[in-house]
Amino acid sequence: MTRPARTPAVPVDGVDEVAALLRGGGGRVSAVRQRLLDVLFAAAGPASAERLAGEVRRGGFPVDVTSVYRNLEHLEQLGVVRHMHLGHGPGLYALTRSGEQEYLVCESCGSVLGVEPERLDAVREQIRAEFGFAADFTHFPISGTCAACAADA
Amino acid sequence: MTRPARTPAVPVDGVDEVAALLRGGGGRVSAVRQRLLDVLFAAAGPASAERLAGEVRRGGFPVDVTSVYRNLEHLEQLGVVRHMHLGHGPGLYALTRSGEQEYLVCESCGSVLGVEPERLDAVREQIRAEFGFAADFTHFPISGTCAACAADA
DNA sequence: CGCTTGTTGTGAACCGGTGTCAATAACCAC
DNA sequence: GTGGTTATTGACACCGGTTCACAACAAGCG
């Protein structure tokens, strides 16, 4: 049941930087790829493949979701993109632009809180001490109830 | 985006106890239901609907997955069954027999560690203090790398 | 400019899960 | 028992999210 090892995050600052990475790995910088990267760089937060495809199309460039999935996978292998599963629904993709992010998701209202890994180090340490387990909330988030929902419950 | 509130866990000791609950709520104790409960009580751990259906069939009783899904949902509403999402793949179902359980899942080998909630209270407290967030690992587990996988990495 | 080969769209297939609907069978009253 | 009410069932279609297969296309190299 071993999964392919996770590529280390490769934070990038712009499309051209990714282009260099792509070409360096024998890849090409296709039009679709460029548009998708534009959208990723412009995105406010993690987004589904479908949504990203929609954004690219809204830019006047027809693209198939299949292609978006393939590209996201490719970019993920390069370490430029990461995907996560925030509750039910489709997987979400985001640039690793400024390093990893970890997530807390409210099961009641669906709100997503993205935090820097350091803020979870104490938690991680606690879990390691108790179970010898290295917790990681970048791919699957911490699930529960946010303060707001707890308040009006 | 509010989800239906979670029914409190109703630990049960045997099929007849569930039968009573079912009848008490205007439900019936059908053959499928009984077989499914038998399988659930015999199960080693959380199992997918497909798997449970398979078990029932292996007992010589043909059953449709659709029916299994419906029954699991019904039993979950009674608080007798709970489902969880341990990583990718189908949802898994288990009796709440002895109260809630929380889970840690290794992303590398897929191993599942079920623990009593008390063992995670310190972690929960830590998360509450830092984020005002009430973490819960019964529906979505803590994800990461188990000791064994960390060792031979 | 042309060749190689990475990339694309199309369309089908897959998986997990839900909805519909007529047929069946628990349970209750008598 | 018998009959009627209605929960439950199987069958089958369908849905969202994702992957596969393959022929057509185009990026980048010589």
Chain B residue at shortest CA distance from A135: B144
pLDDT at A2 over 90: no
Count other C-beta atoms under 10 Å from residue A53's C-beta.
24
Residues 75-134 of A with CB under 7 A from strand C: none
Determine the average pLDDT of the residues in A15-37.
97
- Please give the average per-residue pLDDT across B36-40, as a whole number: 98
User: What is the length of chain B?
Assistant: 153
Measured from the Cβ of residue A7, the count of other Cβ atoms closer than 10 Å reads 15
B3 touches strand C (CB under 7 A): no
CB distance A133–B110 less than 8 Å?
A: no
Nearest CA of chain A to the CA of B16: how many Å? 33
Asked if the Cβ of residue B69 lies within 7 A of any atom of strand C, the reply is yes
**Which nt is closest to the CA of A25, judged by C1'?**
C6
Residue B104 contacts A where some CB pair is shorter than 8 Å? yes
Please answer whether residues B112 and B105 qualify as being in contact, where contact means their C-beta atoms are separated by less than 8 angstroms: yes
Position B3 scores a pLDDT of 55
Averaged pLDDT, B17-41: 97
| Nearest-by-Cβ selection for B132 from A136, A140, A147 | A147
The neighbouring-strand residues paired with A94 are A82
Chain B CA closest to residue A120: B127
Q: Which of A107, A109, A115 to mutate to test the interface with B (most CBs of B within 10 A)?
A: A107
Given this model, what pLDDT does residue A17 score? 97
Band of residue A100 on the pLDDT scale cut at 50, 70, 90: confident
Locate the chain B residue with the closest alpha carbon to A137: B143
Task: State what percent of residues in chain A have pLDDT above 70.
Answer: 97
- pLDDT confidence bin for B56, thresholds 50/70/90: very high
CA B30 / C1′ D7 distance in Å: 9
pLDDT band at A29, cuts 50/70/90?
Answer: very high
What span, in angstroms and rounded, lies between the C-alpha atoms of B153 and B151? 6
Q: What is the pLDDT averaged over residues A114-118?
A: 96
| Proportion of chain A above pLDDT 90, given as a percent | 92
φ, ψ of residue B95 in degrees (nearest 5) = -65, 150
Residue A102: both structure tokens together: 């970890």
Give the pLDDT of residue B143: 98
Residue A1 reports pLDDT greater than 50:
no
Q: For residues B20 and B151, what is the distance between their CA atoms, to the nearest angstrom?
A: 49
Query: Dihedral of the CA atoms B49, B54, B55, B58 (nearest 10)?
Result: 160
DSSP secondary structure letter of residue B61: -
For the cut 80, the answer to whether the pLDDT of residue A103 exceeds it is yes
Beta strand pairing status for B47-48 and A142-145?
unpaired
CA-to-CA dists, residue B46 to A6, B38, B91, angstroms: 27, 14, 9
pLDDT tens by residue, A49-83: 999 999 999 999 999 999 999 999 999 999 999 99
Q: Read off the pLDDT of each residue in B85-111 and give the average, rounded to a whole number.
A: 95
Predicted confidence (pLDDT) at residue B25 exceeds the cutoff of 70: yes
